[in-house]
A = this chain, B = another copy of it.
Amino acid sequence: MHYQAPLADIQFILNDVLHAPAQLLALPSFAEVDADLVQQVLDEAGKFVTNQVAPLQEVGDSVGCTFDAGTVTTPPGFKEAYQAFWQAGWPALACAPQDGGQGLPAVLEAVLFEMLSGANHGWTMAPGLLHGAYECIKHHGSEALKAEYLEKVATGEWLATMCLTEPHAGSDLGLVRTKAQPQADGSYRVSGTKIFISGGEHDLTDNIVHLVLARLPDAPAGPKGLSLFLAPKLLPEGGRSAGPSQARPAPPGGSEGHAVPSVGAIRNAVHCERIEEKMGLHGSPTCVMRFDEATAWMIGEPHRGLGAMFVMMNAARLHVGLQGIGLLEAAWQKADAYSKERRQMRAPKAKMGSAPDLISEHPAMRRILSTQRAWIDGGRVLAYRTRPSNSTC
């Protein structure tokens, strides 16, 4: 049995425990988000998750992603589901309307990603990074970068990655060695190898927006010498020369004072070397990425890259919490269904010598199942209640 969107249980927490609709209505940004709208969004989200994403869990696990000479192919059906997902506006749920988003409360995005993670954790890894990339570019990107990338990332037309770890630098990011060389046109050439990059390469979207920690030539050692760069898989028109866009007027002067040209089909020097095992998520390509003088633009200030990256990392951390709740729910659904199908031993209420009982009747099993439920419900209260208000609404 596939994962089934547990809307009644989720709405019990949202409506009856947290009184979310009344609380949201009281906020100026959400004066039009009434209980009916919340219900409607959750119903549609539940349908999408149950009908389009959950059925791909098995093929994601059994077939998985494959790598061939720098190209990554996701499991059958993954691309079609992702295209339907972004075209229906799901990644943009809690993004600002002026960026192409829907301006709905972030808690609804939390519910959506909890369900997606439970239904198909591997598939969900790729869009799970979008909101963090959106927040990072929105708060720290130049106007030129925002003009080129913000809406694409807000809507999910392009997916994004978070490139921190290197073979010798995991939690100790101060050891990062990837270098960024400034160019005369305001861009940079980034060189180095990153590992464990979720969605580093795939066929879900045409372009992939890499957010990369690297070091400028004059950078001090350690974490205070890191800067953040945006390196797309496909370069804007004009390619590496990165002159002003031909397709639109130069945007009003960004923090870097340079314009980013619009996308073309020129491949940037960003290479996937292989895919890695990551927590058994065969449907999610975890990639070793080599940046070979890749064209990139700085996000935020020199040597202040870690602070900008933490906007993305913190969003990713909140998503990891939602993944946990989603997986708890998925495990509980399987356990609950099995307990109502499997007969074993005699439960206390039965007479001796009768046929074996469903294991759902055994007190020891009821305790286990109830404990699972308590973790799920408690986790939902914590995750939904502490969901930060949309920083952009």
Q: Which A residues contact B (CB, under 8 angstroms)?
A: 168, 170-172, 175, 221, 343-345, 353, 356
5 more CB-based (< 8 A) A-B contacts, given A171-B345, A172-B356: A171-B344, A172-B344, A175-B344, A175-B356, A221-B353
Q: How far is the CB of A56 from chain B (nearest CB, A)?
A: 21
Q: How far is the CB of A172 from chain B (nearest CB, A)?
A: 4
- Point out the residues of chain B lying under 8 angstroms from A175, CB to CB: 343-344, 356
- Complex CA gap A68/B343 in Å reads 33
Determine whether the beta carbon of B343 is less than 8 Å from that of A168: yes
- Complex CA gap A351/B17 in Å reads 52
Q: How far is the CB of A382 from chain B (nearest CB, A)?
A: 26
Q: How far is the CB of A38 from chain B (nearest CB, A)?
A: 42
Q: How far is the CB of A196 from chain B (nearest CB, A)?
A: 15
- Point out the residues of chain B lying under 8 angstroms from A171, CB to CB: 344-345
- Point out the residues of chain B lying under 8 angstroms from A353, CB to CB: 221
Q: How far is the CB of A195 from chain B (nearest CB, A)?
A: 14
- Complex CA gap A83/B172 in Å reads 48
Q: How far is the CB of A63 from chain B (nearest CB, A)?
A: 16
Q: How far is the CB of A58 from chain B (nearest CB, A)?
A: 14
Considering the complex, give the chain B residue whose CB is closest to the CB of A345. B172
Q: How far is the CB of A87 from chain B (nearest CB, A)?
A: 37
Considering the complex, give the chain B residue whose CB is closest to the CB of A222. B353
Return 11 A-B CB contacts under 8 Å, by A number. A168-B343, A170-B344, A171-B344, A171-B345, A172-B344, A172-B345, A172-B356, A175-B343, A175-B344, A175-B356, A221-B353
Q: How far is the CB of A307 from chain B (nearest CB, A)?
A: 19
Which of A171, A172, A345, A353 has most chain B Cβ within 10 Å? A172
- Complex CA gap A170/B175 in Å reads 52
Q: How far is the CB of A381 from chain B (nearest CB, A)?
A: 31
- Point out the residues of chain B lying under 8 angstroms from A168, CB to CB: 343
Q: Which 3 A-B pairs have the closest CB atoms?
A: A172-B344, A172-B345, A172-B356
- Point out the residues of chain B lying under 8 angstroms from A343, CB to CB: 168, 175
- Complex CA gap A171/B171 in Å reads 44
Considering the complex, give the chain B residue whose CB is closest to the CB of A346. B172
- Complex CA gap A172/B365 in Å reads 15
- Complex CA gap A168/B344 in Å reads 8
- Point out the residues of chain B lying under 8 angstroms from A344, CB to CB: 170-172, 175
Considering the complex, give the chain B residue whose CB is closest to the CB of A221. B353
- Complex CA gap A172/B357 in Å reads 11
- Complex CA gap A343/B172 in Å reads 9
- Point out the residues of chain B lying under 8 angstroms from A170, CB to CB: 344
- Point out the residues of chain B lying under 8 angstroms from A345, CB to CB: 171-172
- Complex CA gap A172/B344 in Å reads 6
- Complex CA gap A221/B353 in Å reads 9
Q: How far is the CB of A351 from chain B (nearest CB, A)?
A: 14
